[in-house]
A and B are shown apart, each in its own frame.
Chain A
Amino acid sequence: MSFSNEQMTRYSRHIILKEIGVKGQKRLMEGRVLIVGAGGLGSPAALYLAAAGVGVIGIVDADEVDLSNLQRQVIHTTADVGRLKVQSARDKMEAINPDIKVNAYQTLAVADNILDLIADYDFVIDGSDNFPAKFLINDACVIAGKAFSHAGIIRFQGQLMTYVPGQGPCYRCVFDSPPPPDAVPTCRQAGVIGAMGGVIGSLQAMEAVKYIAGVGKLLTGSLLTYDALTMEFRKIGLPPKRSGCAVCGEHPSITEPFDYAPAVCEFQ
């Protein structure tokens, strides 16, 4: 692949970085990233990956844009209310960068489709909004041997970690199984400050870019937490993977993806 003049200009601020250069940019242009969820986390991740010229970006979401999404889901505009999120997202990504290919999957990520969805991608971004999906993405990525970025945001807090096969614990090593629906605030009643998706979703895009370009140190074996009220970031070292982990341990009991029952509040 050789660069056109337009590409040399478009990506000049990447190419000038010694860690990226022509080689790293070429890797990005040959890279494939799947984003699950075109919401608070997926919006900034999709915008930055499109701008970075990541060759193929898949985006998975079943929903339509709702007016209450616009306070934080910055890829969608007022005119998009009622449109499918994946179509709205694809339009913006292609408008930013006609170089890239966007695959839009209008579906929920479930056990029946998750392995097919991730199969064609190098890196997965978990921008889902519920625990069943987070465990599903973890299990599928462990089973398929894919790297992924996990993240969660709520109120004024956010956190993320990266899983790379063979390097540190998976999400299930740390959190074992989803909490009962009422135990932990997750759903719409809890609220989230809009810019939190921007902070954490952009960090997920950063991990994807670093993974594909092959630069720097990833958040494997660490959980990065961010508290916007105290303005504190903490990189918490995680223990090594659990040998008894149900999916990545020595004798896994989970050998194919499965669905947990969705949280009750998703039906409200």
Chain B
Amino acid sequence: MVLTVGGTRKEYPAELTVAKLLEVEKVEMPLYVTVSINDEFVKREEFETALLKEDDSVEFLYFMGGGF
């Protein structure tokens, strides 16, 4: 299955959940990342169940705190 993740198109295994994708992409602190699929926010409670499908476009949005 081909997905666009963070602007890059790549091949991924089928039957991939958002939680699994976060793992595959080695996202640090996955509990505090906001995920959007095709311009829709994914609720955090749905990370374990939400399945990705062919051609989905996924973005990870990260907390960035400093203004220092």
Contact = CB atoms under 8 A, between A and B. Distances in A.
B42 to A, nearest CB: 10
Given A174-B61, A175-B34, A184-B29, A239 B67 contact: no
A238 B36 contact: yes
Given A174-B34, A183-B31, A183-B32, A131 B65 contact: yes
Given A183-B31, A242-B41, A153 B7 contact: no
A126 B67 contact: yes
Interface stretch (A8-16, A36-44, A76-84): A36-44
Interface residues of A, number: 43
A86 interface: no
Nearest to B68: A40
Contacts, number: 87
Contact of A72 (B29, B32, B59, B68): B68
A130 B64 CA distance: 9
Given A40-B68, A153-B64, 10 more contacts: A40-B66, A41-B68, A152-B64, A153-B66, A154-B65, A157-B64, A174-B34, A179-B29, A187-B66, A234-B6
Interface of A: 37, 39-42, 72-73, 126-131, 134, 151-154, 157-159, 173-176, 179, 183-188, 190, 192, 197, 223, 234, 236-240, 242
